């Protein structure tokens, strides 16, 4: 459904991505892990068309979108949420969703918005200011906003960041249900093994802009290269 091949991105002499490949299929969840600065967010930025790679190819639903901007990729079914859950603070929940819903096609009918809110368990009232929501509801509002366009692929950058353990469980359940019930593909950036084990069939691990492991969550976190990247000393305890 979405793939990137040999994605390279440099900033001057600094190599943010050294030639990374990634692929995710409909109905599947791929985890993307790696220490701070590994290149996870940069990879999402390249996949969504926000950052132009030096080289490499991005394919979305069978089409080469490497030269297409973020807006065109979004219309083709690519959605992305960001690490920081930034919401329009002066708009209400209802206004935010209406702006998101009417931004571009395809979009779901107003009547189907309620079903989407139920699927994401987003119960904040329409009249509430988005800026007054807690982190969990902000993340749900932003997730709902991108889901209003019936995406085929969802890129979620640290969707559990800043949440408590019960809230993390809830987000895990929502992501699982979305993928199982709609058949969309999802890519989730996450550091924590227990969350990746709950969510992802496979995990791609990056370190300093390169792939260092790809496999099941359990296997990649046993990999000495991954342990070294995370804990610096090979063989250090998790």
Ligand X SMILES: Nc1ncnc2c1ncn2[C@@H]1O[C@H](COP(=O)(O)OP(=O)(O)OP(=O)(O)O)[C@@H](O)[C@H]1O
Residues at the site binding ligand X, with contacts judged by CB under 6 A: 11, 14, 16, 34, 36-42, 83
Q: Which is nearer to ligand X, 2 or 205 (CB)?
A: 205
SS (H, E, C) 150-163: CCCEEEEECCCCCC
Determine, following the binding rule CB under 5 A, whether residue 81 of this chain makes contact with Mg ion.
no
Determine, following the binding rule CB under 5 A, whether residue 145 of this chain makes contact with Mg ion.
no
CB of 62 to Mg ion, least distance (A): 28
Q: Which is nearer to ligand X, 14 or 105 (CB)?
A: 14
Lookup: tokens for 120: 């994401």
CB of 138 to ligand X, least distance (A): 18
In the chain, the DSSP E strands lie at 2-11, 14-24, 29-33, 55-60, 63-64, 78-81, 153-157, 185-189, 202-207, 210-215
Stretch that binds Mg ion, among 33-41, 71-79, 123-131, 162-170 (CB under 5 A): 33-41
Residue 169 vs residues 46, 138, 160: alpha-carbon distances, Å: 29, 16, 9
Lookup: tokens for 126: 């329409």
68 three-class SS: coil
By the 8 A CB rule, do 50 and 79 touch? no
Q: Which is nearer to ligand X, 36 or 123 (CB)?
A: 36
13 touches which of Mg ion, ligand X, none (CB within 5 to 8 A by kind)? none
Instruction: Select the residue interacting with Mg ion from 24, 34, 41, 48 (CB under 5 A).
Output: 41
Q: Which is nearer to ligand X, 40 or 139 (CB)?
A: 40
Query: Max CA-CA distance within the chain?
Result: 55
Q: Which is nearer to ligand X, 14 or 109 (CB)?
A: 14
Give the binding site for Mg ion (CB under 5 A): 40-41
């Amino acid at each position: 459904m979405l793939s990137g091949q040999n994605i390279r991105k440099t900033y001057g002499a600094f190599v943010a991505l050294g030639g990374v490949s990634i692929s995710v299929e409909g109905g599947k969840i791929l985890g993307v892990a790696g220490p701070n600065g590994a290149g996870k967010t940069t990879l999402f930025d390249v996949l969504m068309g926000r950052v132009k790679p030096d080289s490499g190819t991005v394919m979305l639903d069978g089409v080469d979108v490497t030269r297409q901007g973020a807006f065109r990729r979004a219309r083709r079914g690519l959605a992305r949420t960001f690490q920081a859950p930034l919401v329009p603070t002066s708009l209400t929940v209802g206004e935010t969703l209406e702006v998101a819903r009417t931004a571009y096609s395809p979009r779901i009918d107003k009547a189907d918005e309620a079903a989407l809110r139920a699927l994401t368990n987003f119960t904040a009232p329409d009249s509430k200011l988005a800026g007054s929501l807690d982190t969990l509801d902000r993340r749900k509002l932003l997730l709902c906003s991108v889901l209003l366009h019936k995406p085929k692929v969802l890129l979620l950058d640290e969707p559990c960041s800043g949440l408590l353990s019960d809230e993390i469980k809830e987000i895990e359940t929502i992501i699982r249900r979305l993928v199982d019930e709609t058949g969309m593909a999802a890519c989730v950036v996450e550091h924590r093994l227990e969350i990746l084990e709950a969510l992802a069939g496979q995990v791609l691990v990056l370190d300093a802009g390169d792939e260092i492991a790809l496999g099941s969550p359990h296997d990649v976190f046993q990999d000495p290269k991954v342990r070294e990247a995370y804990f610096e000393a090979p063989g250090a305890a998790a």
